[in-house]
């Protein structure tokens, strides 16, 4: 029983982190109609910014905003100098459909190689601000600690803030308009370029939090060839698609589903199947509900 509860708890915490990653993917998709495969790489880079802040200022509460600001800046930079140029250049021609995909993959490779050459990946450790030792119930220890509680609460607050921003302001609408029909958006007075950059920046910040939490939630280290990184890379995308690629709530649900599936497969089925499990879930969702759990319309052929 305790094993079941713990598996559930581990899945929920991990899932909440995947949700943030999925939200990042959704934000970029909503603003530019590009799936950003480099999102996990950007999260990695921002986590290393956070690590540097940890080293010099020795406070997680400074490191987290530093990572978020760094992530937002990197994302904005990429959108401004790279994606705009790319989307303009590859708008036509035989590989126009695949060019952005290939480009973000290239970006992922560059970021991974750069971070590994600078930080190596071995010596990078970030310790959470509160204890990760689990709460006790009688003789049993829960796989739920003050740190995991902190992660959950922070994710919930961030998601609430984002949805407020989208509902109470016109940003959500502007994002969608800029992506679907930039010309009309422009005519109706939306500053398309600025809105797109904003979408990317929010995504960068969100991914940075995911990276920081993924690090402290594991054993405190995070490297480009760790399992934790591969999980972020795959889960962000898959969770976003499960959720319908267009919806914040969908991304959160997708992330939680994925977190739970991975946790239960790892515990009860096999520790070598947990990378194939997300793939299977993805295929099932794509075939049964091509519009995603939350998606409104069939848009798979976008």
Partner 1 sequence: MKAMNRRKLITVSAVLAVASLAVTAVPAQAAEVGVSSTEIKLGMTLPMTGSASPGYNKIPAAVKAYFDYVNANGGINGRKLTLIAKDDEYVPTKAVAKTNELILKDKVMALLAPLGTANNKAVASVVNPGRRGIPVLFVNTGFSGFADKKKYPTTFSVLPSYIMEAKIMSEYIKDNFDGKKLGLIYQDDDFGDDALAGFKQAGVNFAVKVPYASGSQSGTTAAGWIQKLQAGGAEVVILFGVSSATAAALGTAAVMKYAPQWILGSVGGDATTIKAAGVPAGVLYNAVGASFAPATTDTNDEYVKLFQDIYLKANPTQTFDNNVMIGMNSAFLTAQAIQAAGKNPTRKSLIAAIEKSGSTFASAALVPLNYSTTSHIGYNGYWFGKYSPTGDLKPAGGVYTVYTTDSGTGAVVKSTYKRPAMPAKGLPN
Partner 2 sequence: MHRLKSSNNLIYFFVFGFILFLASNRVDELRVYQGASIAVFVIAIASIILLTGYSGQVSLGHGALLAIGAYSAAVARNEFNVPVVVCFFIAVLSSALGGVLLGAAAARLTGPYLAGVTLALAIGLPSLANQFPILGGEQGLIFDVGFPPLSLGEEFTQYKWFFWISSLAALISMWLLSNILGSRYGRNWRAGRSNEVAAQLAGINTGRSKILAFTISAGVAGLAGALLSMTIGTVSPSAFPLALSFSLLTGAVLSGVTTLSGVMIGAVTLVAIPEIADVIANRIGASERITTNLPGLMVSTLLIITVLFVPHGPVEQHRSRKAKKLVQKKN
Q: Which of residues 219-248 bind partner 1 (CB under 8 A)?
A: 219-221, 223, 225-228, 231
Residue 218 in contact with partner 1, rule: CB under 8 A:
yes
Q: Indicate which single residue of 75, 162, 241, 262 sits in contact with partner 2 (rule: CB under 8 A).
A: 241
Contacting residue, 121, 207, 244, 292, with partner 1 by CB under 8 A: 121
Burial class (CB in 10 A: 0-12, 13-18, 19+), 35: middle
Size of the residue set binding partner 1 (CB under 8 A): 34
Contact 286, 300 (CB under 8 A): yes
Is there a contact between 27 and 76 (Cβ–Cβ < 8 Å)? no
- Whether the CB-CB separation of 126 and 212 falls below 8 Å is answered with yes
The answer to the question of residue 134 lying near partner 1 (CB under 8 A) is yes
Interface with partner 2, residue 97, by CB under 8 A: yes
Pick 107 or 185: Cβ nearer partner 2: 107
Q: Distance (Å, rounded) from C-alpha 134 to C-alpha 142?
A: 5
* Number of Cβ within a 10 Å radius of residue 17: 28
Subset of residues 8 to 47 that bind partner 1, contact rule: CB under 8 A: 10, 14
Does 273 sit near partner 2 (CB under 8 A)?
A: yes
Q: What is the DSSP string of 122-153?
A: SS-B---SS--SPPEETTEE-S--HHHHHHHH
CB of 171 to partner 2, least distance (A): 23
Beta bridge partners of 143: none
Nearest to 72 by CA among 170, 254, 176, 209: 209
What is the smallest separation between the CB atom of 247 and partner 1, expressed in angstroms? 27
Contact range with partner 2 by CB under 8 A, out of 64-72, 203-211, 246-254, 281-289? 281-289
8 A C-beta contact, residue 292 and residue 244: yes
Applying CB under 8 A, which residues contact partner 2? 34-35, 37, 85-86, 89-90, 93-95, 97-99, 101-103, 105-110, 112-114, 116-118, 120, 230, 233-234, 237-238, 241, 270-273, 275-279, 282-283, 286-287, 290, 300-302
């Amino acid at each position: 029983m305790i094993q079941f509860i713990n598996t559930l708890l581990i899945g929920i915490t991990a899932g909440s982190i995947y949700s943030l990653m999925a939200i990042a993917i959704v934000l970029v998709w909503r603003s530019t109609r590009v799936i950003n495969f480099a999102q996990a790489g950007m999260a990695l880079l921002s986590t290393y910014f956070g690590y540097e802040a940890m080293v010099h200022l020795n406070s997680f509460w400074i490191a987290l905003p530093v990572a978020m600001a760094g992530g937002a800046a990197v994302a904005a930079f990429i959108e401004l100098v790279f994606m705009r140029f790319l989307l303009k250049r590859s708008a036509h021609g035989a590989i126009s459909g695949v060019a952005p995909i290939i480009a973000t993959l290239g970006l992922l490779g560059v970021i991974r190689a750069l971070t590994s050459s600078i930080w190596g990946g071995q010596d990078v450790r970030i310790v959470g601000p509160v204890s990760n030792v689990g709460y006790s119930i009688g003789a049993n220890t829960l796989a739920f600690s003050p740190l995991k509680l902190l992660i959950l609460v922070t994710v919930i607050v961030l998601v609430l803030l984002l949805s407020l921003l989208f509902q109470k302001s016109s940003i959500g609408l502007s994002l969608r308009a800029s992506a679907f029909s930039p010309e009309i958006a422009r005519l109706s007075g939306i500053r398309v370029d600025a809105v797109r950059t904003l979408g990317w920046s929010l995504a960068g910040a969100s991914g940075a939090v995911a990276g920081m939490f993924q690090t402290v939630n594991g054993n405190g280290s995070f490297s480009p060839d760790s399992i934790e990184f591969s999980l972020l890379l795959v889960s962000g995308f898959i969770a976003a698609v499960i959720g319908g690629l267009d919806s914040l709530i969908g991304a959160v649900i997708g992330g939680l589903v994925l977190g739970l599936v991975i946790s239960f497969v790892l515990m009860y089925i096999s520790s070598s199947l947990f990378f194939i499990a997300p793939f299977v879930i993805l295929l099932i969702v794509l075939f049964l509900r091509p519009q995603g759990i939350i998606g409104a319309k069939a848009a798979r052929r976008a």
